[in-house]
Amino acid sequence: GAVVSQHPSRVICKSGTSVKIECRSLDFQATTMFWYRQFPKQSLMLMATSNEGSKATYEQGVEKDKFLINHASLTLSTLTVTSAHPEDSSFYICSARGAGGVWEQYFGPGTRLTVT
Amino acid sequence: DQQVKQNSPSLSVQEGRISILNCDYTNSMFDYFLWYKKYPAEGPTFLISISSIKDKNEDGRFTVFLNKSAKHLSLHIVPSQPGDSAVYFCAATGSGNDMRFGAGTRLTVKP
């Protein structure tokens, strides 16, 4: 199956700093990438959808100035958490979907962010 | 709003028996449904899917049933194995747009 990687897998940062998370589709071109956030014992919450070369579409309640998403190429999307606060600590997961017409999304392994 | 619901947060079954995980949805525009399996601290792994034009899809030990009139789908795992223990997420999408996930059901298969 298609492979999606995320880097880093785990990051600890201080409050007020910014953190960048990378999501890469390794063996296919992802026209659309999605960013999710998962709180403990809760479902995956869609944060935003990004298409290559265009601005991301954010879900209601997600601050676009805080969670900056860039989808610069067909294999790379980045999520930057700006001015991180402890409440931003969470598990962030990206997924990628190709242009083949199937609706399966391939998920990355996730990034555990801890803001101290 | 919760458009996809998994009302059972957990399920425990004996090895070799059938596991049945349920999912309900409210949005009639959904036309494609998926099940994902997730281990702690890992991303979800695609398991099986079904289009709204079908009512059953089978792949090895996994079968997904769709009841459109009831807006209900279920995942059957037969026979259940200890390695199946994980959190299972039901997901739905309409016209290939963003996917909505249920809250997940933690399946424990006891040896």
Mean pLDDT to the nearest integer, A43-66: 88
Mean pLDDT to the nearest integer, A87-105: 81
Residue pLDDT, tens place only, B19-45? 999 999 999 989 999 999 988 878 888
Residues of B with CB below 8 A from A49's CB?
98
Record: contact B101-A44, CB cut-off 8 A: yes
- pLDDT score for A101: 54
**Chain B within 8 Å of A104 (Cβ-Cβ)?**
yes
Amino acid at B20: I
How many CA atoms are closer than 13 Å to the CA of B64, on its beta-carbon side? 25
Distance from CA of A43 to the nearest CA of B (A): 4
Record: contact B96-A34, CB cut-off 8 A: no
Amino acid at B59: D
**Chain B within 8 Å of A106 (Cβ-Cβ)?**
yes
**Residue with more model confidence, A104 or A107:** A107
Record: contact B44-A4, CB cut-off 8 A: no
Contact, B32 vs B22, CB < 8 A? no
User: Lowest-pLDDT range, A41-50, B55-64, B71-80?
Assistant: A41-50
CA–CA distance, B37 with B109 (Å, rounded to integer): 14
**Chain B within 8 Å of A67 (Cβ-Cβ)?**
no
Residues of B with CB below 8 A from A48's CB?
none
Q: Which two tokens stand for residue B21?
A: 């995980």
Q: How confident is the model at residue A105 (pLDDT cuts 50, 70, 90)?
A: confident
Neighbour-count burial of B79, counting CB atoms closer than 10 A to its CB (0-12 exposed, 13-18 middle, 19+ buried): middle
Mean pLDDT to the nearest integer, B54-75: 97
Find the distance separating the first CA and the last CA of chain A, reported in whole Å: 37
**Chain A within 8 Å of B20 (Cβ-Cβ)?**
no
CA–CA distance, B57 with A116 (Å, rounded to integer): 46
User: Lowest-pLDDT range, A47-51, A102-106, B35-39, B72-76?
Assistant: A102-106
